[in-house]
Amino acid sequence: MTYRALCSFLKIAIGSGKDETYPFDLRTFCSTFGLDVSTTFNSLKILEMNGDLTLSEAIHQPTKLRLAIGNTALYDFQVHHEEFRPLISMLSRSYPGIFDQYFAIDEKVFAQRLKMTFPQIEKQLKELEKYGIVDVTWKTDMPTITLIHERLPDDYLSIQPEMYATRKAYAEKRLSAVRNFLQANECRTIQVLHYFGQSSEECGICDVCRSKILHESHAAYSITQTILDFLKEPRTEQECLLAFEISKDNLRKTLKTLHLEEKISYLNGKFHVK
């Protein structure tokens, strides 16, 4: 369905279109035929993998053309239309093989060399296209579609089974990556930058970092309150170490903080609540 609608949208007749490039607006296309944008894009990618077309991103595409008639007919045309002779001569001299394949041209360069204006060059090219002398793919900044082969009848188009398998494997890989990203207990920024081969410190603002900070805050409050309860009777540092599963450094840091906050005091080698 997508292939048939595409060829209809681009006005490509059965048996034509091989190696031709067309500007393509995905949203206009989908709106015209009532298609879902995401589904249609994936269908086009399958057609691309299947070797039916290529889909480019939105980049500048220069004008491309080829001479559509043979030498004898071209000479006869120039005899009867002398105003086109300089442009036709430049095309045939500048691009050997232009009778058989498309070449990108720069209209501004042609205008300078032929001492013509850009609109004059463009007008002559459009007239040559109407006469059937040249086949033209006009420059565009839109995404483009290029047909790899001539348009096939609908019944002749077939999708290779491995194309579906490849797209399915790719989709499953992406889904797995997203699932791992969401389930991993690691800073989101670190995960994203690691994916692109970069490193980073924890951002401190993502959901994972905030959860970790909150957990550490609760843990710190819990151990502090437990130590305060334990020090209602005077205790030595060693007694505190034996009572709690905490490193000596963290214990000393907690005791120092409590002491500075004047919640405990130190007398005769023992800590106790004031």
Question: Exposed, middle or buried: residue 98 (CB in 10 Å: 0-12, 13-18, 19+)?
Answer: middle
- Which SS3 state, helix, strand or coil, does residue 55 take? strand
Q: Answer yes or no: are the C-beta atoms of 240 and 255 closer than 8 Å.
A: yes
Q: Which residue has the higher pLDDT, 56 or 81?
A: 81
In this prediction, residue 218 has a pLDDT band, given cuts at 50, 70 and 90, of low
Which H, E and C letters describe 233-257, residue by residue? CCECHHHHHHHCCCCHHHHHHHHHH
DSSP 11: T
Tokens at 271, concatenated: 């800590």
Yes or no: say if 67 and 91 are a contact pair by the CB < 8 Å rule: yes
Q: Considering the entire predicted model, what is its pTM? A: 0.41
Taking residues 165-193, report their average pLDDT.
Answer: 80
Q: What is the pLDDT of residue 85?
A: 94
At residue 170, does pLDDT exceed 90?
no
| pLDDT, mean of residues 197-210 | 84
Which pLDDT value is given to residue 122?
93
Token pair in block for residue 204: 């401190």
Q: Which of 13-17, 163-167, 173-177 is predicted least confidently?
A: 163-167
Write phi, then psi, for 144 (nearest 5 degrees): -130, 155
Phi, psi of 218 (to 5 degrees): -65, -40
- Compare 167 and 63 and report the one with higher pLDDT: 63
| pLDDT band for position 251 (cuts 50, 70, 90) | confident
Q: Is the pLDDT of residue 219 over 70?
A: no
Give the whole-angstrom CA distance, residue 155 versus residue 141. 34
pLDDT band at 58 (very low <50, low <70, confident <90, very high): low
Q: What is the DSSP string of 169-181?
A: HHHHHHHHHHHHH
Q: 62 and 131 in contact (C-beta within 8 Å)?
A: no
pLDDT at 51 over 70: yes
The β-bridge relationship of strands 264-267 and 53-55 is: unpaired
What is the C-alpha separation between 176 and 166, in angstroms, rounded? 15
DSSP element (H, E) containing 125: helix 118-131
Give the chain's mean pLDDT: 86
